[in-house]
C-alpha cells in the first residue's frame, strides 16, 4: 500500500521537473553535484560557476563566441546567433556570425550521470551539451605525444536542408573523441562508435532531455528522454583507459563546417523566434554510498601549489629547459619538492576564480641568477594584470595582489634566457570571502520509498534484510517498522535518507525471537526529527514466511531434563502457542507461552515432545 502525502499544488508545481537519473547500482545513491548543475531560474548567469565565453577557443569560423549572445531570463539560459554588422578578423580568421558559449569554470567533472533539457534553435547553428579538457595530457610514448578527451552527449541542429548533415536535426547523437597527437606531431581523432537515437521530430520542435552516464574510463551509456539506453565503448587502442581524466562542461551554440551543414541564412539569424537555443536546466549526479552523506569538498584555488606530487600536475611547463621538479634539499623551502625554472620558460596555471574579486598570492621564491617574474595575466589576451620581481638568492616570502576581472587568469613564474629561479609553497586566497549561502534544495523527485518483498534473513545476526529504493529532495528520516500479525512492533529502525536517488538493502535488527509466519513492514519518509503528523510518504508490504531460525536450526532448547514441576524454554516470543505430546503422539498440553516457565507437574512421568511451529524439543518428566 502506498500513500503519497504531498499537497496537490506542490505536485503540480514540480512534476515538470522530475527527470530521474537511471537506477543506481545496489548500495549506491545518485547525489546532485552542484558544481555542474543549474536551473537557470535567476536573471543573470552565475559567473561564479560559468564563463560566458570559452576561455581557450574563440569559436569555429565564421561563428565567433561573444558574451552578448548569452542571457538568463524566464527560467531559461538562452544562447542565440546573429549576423554581425561587419566582418571581424580574430587570430587571422574571418568571423561574421555571433555565437555563444557557456563553459564551466571547474574542470573536475568525472564519472557520473549528466543530463540537460533544452530546445534547439531553428537554424543550422548547433545546440550542444558536451565535455572536454582544456589542456593536453602526456601520451603513452616517451616522445612528447599528447592527448585530450571530448565527450559529446548531444550535438544537433534545428532544421533540415539540402546538405549531407541534414539528419543532424533529429534525434540524439552521442560521440566520444580521443584527440591524440603522435610522436610526429600529427593529430588524430579517434572516435568511439556513435550512439544515435532516431526520432521523427526536429530537435527544435520541443524540449528534450539528453543524458549520459560516464561509467568509467572505458564506457558510457546514453539516455534520450529517459527512454531505453544505448551503450558505448571508448576507443582504447592508444590508451588502456582513454577517458580517465576529469573534464569541464560546455553548452555551446556554434557554426558547423560547410558544406557538411550549410550556414544559417540572414533571415533566420534575424528572427528571435528561430535563432536561440533554450536550456531549461543542466544537472550532474555522482554515485555515493546509499546511506552516506555527500559533501562537496572545497578545492584549493591552486593545484599542486607545493609541488608535493613530485611532478608538474596541475601546471603547464614550457620552454627549454623550462620548468622542472627538484628534490635537491638546497633548493626546497618546505617539504620534499620545489619547482626549478630556467629561462626562457615558465610554469603556468589557469586559475578558476570568481569574477571581479580581489585575491592574494603568497609563495616562497628565489632567483639564483637574474630577476624572475611572478605574475598573473589575462588568459585570453595575455595582458599582464600584476606582477612582482624575485631577486634574492635565498628563499623569501613574496606577496602579489590582483583582481580577477571578468576572464580566466593565468599564474606564471617566468625566467628569461640565462636566468634561473626556484619557487615553492604557492597559495592563492580570496581577500574577503563571503559566508556560504544556503541553497534551497531542488524538487527533483516525487519523494517516496519502494519496498521489495524479496527479503532475506540472517539469524546469526538477528537481522532481516529488505531491498528498497528511495528518492528524497533533501535529507530526510526513514522509519521502518516490522509488525507481527497481532500488530505488535517487533523492530523499529530509523535511518537518514540523504538527498538523492538510492538503491539499497537495509538490515533491520530484530532483538526478539520471531515465530514463523507473515509480518508487515511499514516505512515512511519524514523531515529530520519530524513527527508522524509530518510524514511525507508511507509504504507497507507483507513479508511471508519470516522464520525464527534457518531451516537447519530446528531444535528447541528446553531444560532441565529430567524436570519435576517447571520446564524452561529459550528463544520463544510471548504469545506463541506451544504443544506438548507424549510418545504416542497424543496432545497432552497446549497453551500460549506467557514468558514464564511451563508448569508440568500434572504430567505423568516419561518422555515428551514439545513443539512450537516447526521447532521441536524433547524432555523427561521425572
Catalytic residue flag (residue 115): no
- Distance of alpha carbon 472 from alpha carbon 504, whole angstroms: 14
Identify the DSSP state of 109. B
pLDDT, tens only, 247-301: 999 999 999 999 999 999 999 999 999 999 999 999 999 999 999 999 887 788 9
Q: Looking at 82, 115, 150, 254, which residue is catalytic?
A: 150
Asked whether 332 and 325 are in contact (CB, 8 A), the reply is: no
Per-residue pLDDT, 554: 53
Residues 394-421: pLDDT tens digits? 999 999 999 999 888 999 999 999 999 9
DSSP lists the bridge partners of residue 463 as: 458, 509
Give pLDDT, residue 12.
32
**Predicted confidence (pLDDT) per residue in 609-618, tens digit:** 898 876 788 8
For residues 176 and 194, the answer to whether their CB atoms sit within 8 Å is no
- pLDDT-derived band at 7, boundaries 50, 70, 90: very low
Question: What confidence tens digit (pLDDT) does each residue in 100-138 have?
Answer: 999 999 999 999 999 999 999 999 999 999 999 988 999
- How far lies 226's CA from each of 209, 213, 218, 222, in Å? 7, 12, 22, 9
Do 137 and 159 contact (CB within 8 A), yes or no?
no
Neighbours of 196 (CB within 10 A): 15
Could you tell me how far CA 210 lies from the centroid of its own chain? Answer: 16
- pLDDT surpassing 90 at residue 28: yes
C-alpha pair distances (Å), 363 with each of 333, 388, 453, 481, 597: 10, 12, 61, 58, 79
Do 2-6+17-289 and 316-430 have matching folds?
Answer: yes
Mean local confidence (pLDDT), 189-215: 98
In CATH terms, 448-546 corresponds, of 1.10.3720.10, 2.60.40.1290, 2.60.40.2550, 3.30.70.141, to 2.60.40.2550
> Mean pLDDT, to the nearest integer, of 186-193?
97
| In the block, residue with C-alpha cell 529430567 | 562
Question: Structural domain boundaries of the chain?
Answer: 2-6+17-289, 316-430, 448-546, 558-621
Query: Which has the higher per-residue pLDDT, 183 or 569?
Result: 183
Strand ranges in 11-111 using DSSP code E only, listed in sequence order: 28-32, 50-51, 63-65, 70-73, 76-80, 82-90, 93-104
Q: Is the pLDDT of residue 440 over 50?
A: yes
Q: Tell me which of 554 and 29 has the higher pLDDT.
A: 29
Across the range 315-337, mean pLDDT stands at 93
pLDDT band, very low/low/confident/very high, at 8 (cuts 50, 70, 90):
very low
How does DSSP classify residue 218?
Answer: T
316-430, superfamily in CATH?
Galactose-binding domain-like (2.60.120.260)
Q: Looking at 82, 155, 268, 447, which residue is catalytic?
A: 155
- H/E element, 524: strand 517-527
The rounded distance, in Å, linking the Cα atoms of 169 and 199 is 9
Residue 520's alpha-carbon distances to 124, 191, 307, 572, 607, in angstroms, are: 59, 53, 59, 20, 38
**Does residue 308 contact residue 300 with C-beta atoms inside 8 Å?**
no
Pair 473, 447: CB distance under 8 Å: yes
User: Is 155 in the active site?
Assistant: yes
pLDDT of residue 69: 98
**SS3 of 430-464:** ECCCCCCCCCCCCCCCCCEEEECCCCEEECCCCEE
Tens digits of residue pLDDT in 525-552: 999 999 999 999 999 999 887 765 444 4
- pLDDT tens per residue across span 130-181: 999 988 999 999 898 999 999 999 999 999 999 999 999 999 999 999 999 9
Q: Check if CATH label 3.40.630.10 holds for domain 2-6+17-289.
A: no
Amino acid at each position: 500500500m502506498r500513500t503519497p502525502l504531498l499537497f496537490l499544488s506542490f505536485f503540480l508545481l514540480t512534476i515538470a521537473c522530475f527527470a530521474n537519473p537511471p537506477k543506481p547500482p545496489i548500495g549506491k545513491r545518485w547525489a546532485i553535484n552542484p558544481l555542474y548543475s543549474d536551473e537557470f531560474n535567476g536573471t543573470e548567469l552565475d559567473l561564479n560557476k560559468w564563463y560566458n565565453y570559452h576561455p581557450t577557443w574563440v569559436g569555429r569560423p565564421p561563428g565567433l563566441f561573444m558574451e552578448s549572445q548569452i542571457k538568463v531570463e524566464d527560467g531559461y539560459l538562452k544562447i542565440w546567433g546573429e549576423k554581425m554588422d561587419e566582418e571581424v578578423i580574430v587570430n587571422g580568421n574571418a568571423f561574421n556570425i555571433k555565437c555563444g558559449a557557456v563553459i564551466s569554470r571547474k574542470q573536475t567533472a568525472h564519472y557520473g550521470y549528466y543530463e540537460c533539457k533544452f530546445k534547439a534553435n531553428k537554424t543550422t547553428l548547433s545546440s550542444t551539451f558536451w565535455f572536454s579538457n582544456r589542456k593536453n595530457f602526456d601520451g603513452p610514448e616517451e616522445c612528447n605525444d599528447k592527448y585530450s578527451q571530448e565527450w559529446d552527449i548531444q550535438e544537433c541542429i534545428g532544421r533540415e536542408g539540402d546538405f549531407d548533415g541534414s539528419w543532424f536535426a533529429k534525434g540524439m547523437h552521442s560521440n566520444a573523441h580521443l584527440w591524440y597527437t603522435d610522436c610526429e606531431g600529427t593529430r588524430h581523432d579517434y572516435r568511439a562508435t556513435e550512439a544515435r537515437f532516431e526520432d521523427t521530430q526536429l530537435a527544435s520542435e520541443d524540449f528534450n532531455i539528453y543524458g549520459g552516464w560516464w561509467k568509467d574510463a572505458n564506457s558510457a551509456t546514453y539516455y534520450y528522454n529517459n527512454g531505453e539506453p544505448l551503450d558505448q565503448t571508448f576507443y582504447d587502442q592508444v590508451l588502456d583507459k582513454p577517458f580517465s581524466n576529469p573534464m569541464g562542461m560546455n553548452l555551446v551554440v556554434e557554426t558547423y563546417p560547410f558544406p557538411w551543414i550549410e550556414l544559417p541564412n540572414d533571415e533566420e539569424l534575424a528572427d528571435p523566434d528561430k535563432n536561440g537555443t533554450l536550456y531549461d536546466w543542466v544537472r550532474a549526479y555522482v554515485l555515493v554510498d546509499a546511506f552516506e552523506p555527500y559533501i562537496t569538498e572545497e578545492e584549493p584555488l591552486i593545484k599542486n601549489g607545493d609541488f608535493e606530487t613530485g611532478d608538474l600536475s596541475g601546471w603547464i611547463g614550457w620552454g627549454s629547459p623550462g620548468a622542472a621538479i627538484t628534490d635537491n634539499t638546497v633548493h626546497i623551502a618546505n617539504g620534499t619538492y620545489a619547482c626549478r625554472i630556467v629561462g626562457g620558460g615558465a610554469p603556468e596555471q589557469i586559475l578558476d576564480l570568481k569574477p571581479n574579486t580581489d585575491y592574494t598570492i603568497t609563495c616562497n621564491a628565489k632567483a639564483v641568477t637574474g630577476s624572475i617574474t611572478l605574475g598573473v595575466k589575462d588568459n585570453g589576451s595575455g595582458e599582464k594584470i600584476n606582477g612582482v620581481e624575485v631577486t634574492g638568492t635565498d628563499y623569501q616570502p613574496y606577496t602579489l595582489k590582483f583582481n580577477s576581472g571578468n576572464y580566466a587568469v593565468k599564474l606564471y613564474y617566468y625566467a628569461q634566457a640565462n636566468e634561473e629561479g626556484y619557487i615553492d609553497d604557492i597559495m592563492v586566497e580570496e581577500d574577503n570571502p563571503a559566508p556560504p549561502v544556503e541553497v534551497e534544495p531542488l524538487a527533483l523527485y516525487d519523494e517516496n520509498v519502494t519496498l521489495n518483498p524479496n527479503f532475506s534473513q540472517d539469524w546469526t545476526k538477528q537481522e532481516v534484510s529488505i531491498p528498497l529504493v528511495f528518492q528524497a529532495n533533501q535529507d530526510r528520516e526513514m522509519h521502518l517498522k516490522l509488525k507481527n500479525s497481532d500488530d505488535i512492533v517487533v523492530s523499529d529502525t530509523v535511518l537518514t535518507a540523504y538527498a538523492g536517488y538510492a538503491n539499497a538493502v537495509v538490515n533491520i535488527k530484530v532483538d526478539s525471537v520471531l515465530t514463523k509466519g507473515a509480518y508487515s513492514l511499514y516505512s515512511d519518509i519524514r523531515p529530520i526529527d519530524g513527527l508522524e503528523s509530518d510524514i511525507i510518504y508511507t509504504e507497507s508490504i507483507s513479508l511471508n514466511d519470516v522464520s525464527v531460525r534457518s531451516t537447519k536450526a530446528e531444535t528447541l532448547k528446553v531444560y532441565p531434563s529430567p524436570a519435576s514441576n517447571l520446564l524452561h524454554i529459550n528463544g520463544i516470543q510471548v504469545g506463541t502457542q506451544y504443544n506438548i505430546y507424549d510418545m504416542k503422539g497424543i496432545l497432552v498440553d497446549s497453551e500460549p507461552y506467557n514468558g514464564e516457565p511451563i508448569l508440568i507437574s500434572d504430567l505423568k512421568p516419561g518422555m515428551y515432545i514439545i513443539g512450537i511451529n516447526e521447532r521441536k524439543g524433547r524432555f523427561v518428566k521425572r
